[in-house]
Amino acid sequence: MDTQTGITATAPAGKIPQPSEPHLPDDQWGHRAWELLQKLRSRAPLIQCITNVVSMDLMANLLLAAGASPAMLSSIYEISDFTPGVDALCINIGTLSEDGLASMRAAAAVAVKAGRPWVLDPVAVSASDFRMEACLGLLELRPAVIRGNASEILGLAAARRIRNSKGVDSSHQSFDAVEAAKSLSRSIGAIVAVSGAVDYITDGHMVVGAFNGVSMLQKITATGCAVTALIAAFISVEPLRALEATACALSIFGVAAELGMEMASGPASLRMHLIDCLDGLNEDLLVSRMNVYRVS
């Protein structure tokens, strides 16, 4: 226990068996996404973000445009007072520091204890041992969702096998990010989302593909970080169906980007228009655009 803050960062007692969610028929995703967005807009959930400095502006504005209420508090001295009252927590290690990591661990522990879901964005997890160890430690604190790009998910899955397994997975020397995501998902008991041209979301059993989005998003800093916060907002209003909530968050972001792209002349105007389009998104546009289905 940290005697200054009174927070005990206990690890949960082992792996959580994660039952597969019921299968949503492919033609229902648009209506489901609209339903969740409506819930989000009416409840305005409070989403605490302990995140990298680069992403804060975009993340806060994207959450506001979706209807959530962002809070960027991250001091270790505030977590025991503040975090029990949030609706979800987003942790992002982009500009990781020692102090930041202590806050992340404390906040994740408090959130889990208070029954609030939290999501992890393992930015550039393979860039240093410090970062990888930080992430592996955070994985023990029961994230509801992990979202990364293919190399982050592959890196995390590989490091976890090396550190934890006594050989059961060690024969799988190579597999693509989706298989790594499924394995990671089962091992942690969390939804894992792999972002890319297509986003894949898995609960360790089924895999859903989210096909919306535009390639120019890669030219805007922190879009990945921001969408992770959006996932936190969506699972806060639908915690028991986290796979659906995650896929809906990713898709809605992708649809907003597609709509924004129609007005954009480059990455900076796309950044602006996608926020405006998310704010103004209506049912017809969302349902007609959304392209999500189960892939395995």
Interface residues with a second copy (CB under 8 A) are: 52-54, 56-58, 60-61, 64-65, 70-75, 77-78, 81-82, 94-99, 124, 127-131, 218-222, 264-269, 271-277, 279-280
Minimum distance between the CB of residue 156 and a second copy, rounded to whole angstroms? Answer: 16
Residue 94: phi, psi to the nearest 5? -50, -50
| Among candidate residues 245, 15, 289, 282, the one with its CA nearest the CA of residue 117 | 245
The nearer residue to a second copy, 241 or 271, going by C-beta atoms, is: 271
Between CA 11 and CA 270 the distance in angstroms is 41
The nearer residue to a second copy, 60 or 180, going by C-beta atoms, is: 60
Minimum distance between the CB of residue 211 and a second copy, rounded to whole angstroms? Answer: 24
Minimum distance between the CB of residue 294 and a second copy, rounded to whole angstroms? Answer: 33
The nearer residue to a second copy, 94 or 254, going by C-beta atoms, is: 94
Minimum distance between the CB of residue 167 and a second copy, rounded to whole angstroms? Answer: 27
Between CA 205 and CA 112 the distance in angstroms is 23
User: Which H helix or E strand runs over 110?
Assistant: helix 98-113
The nearer residue to a second copy, 63 or 188, going by C-beta atoms, is: 63
The nearer residue to a second copy, 44 or 287, going by C-beta atoms, is: 44
Q: How far is CA 118 from CA 90, 113, 135, 276, in A?
A: 6, 11, 14, 26
Q: At what angle do helices 56-66 and 29-43 cross, to 10 degrees?
A: 100
Minimum distance between the CB of residue 52 and a second copy, rounded to whole angstroms? Answer: 7
- The b-or-e profile of 92-107 (16+ CB within 10 A means b, else e) is bbbebeeebbbbbbbb
Question: Among the residues of 114-215, which ranges form H helices?
Answer: 129-139, 150-164, 177-188
The nearer residue to a second copy, 30 or 260, going by C-beta atoms, is: 260
Contact status, residue 294 vs residue 207, Cβ threshold 8 Å: yes
Minimum distance between the CB of residue 63 and a second copy, rounded to whole angstroms? Answer: 8
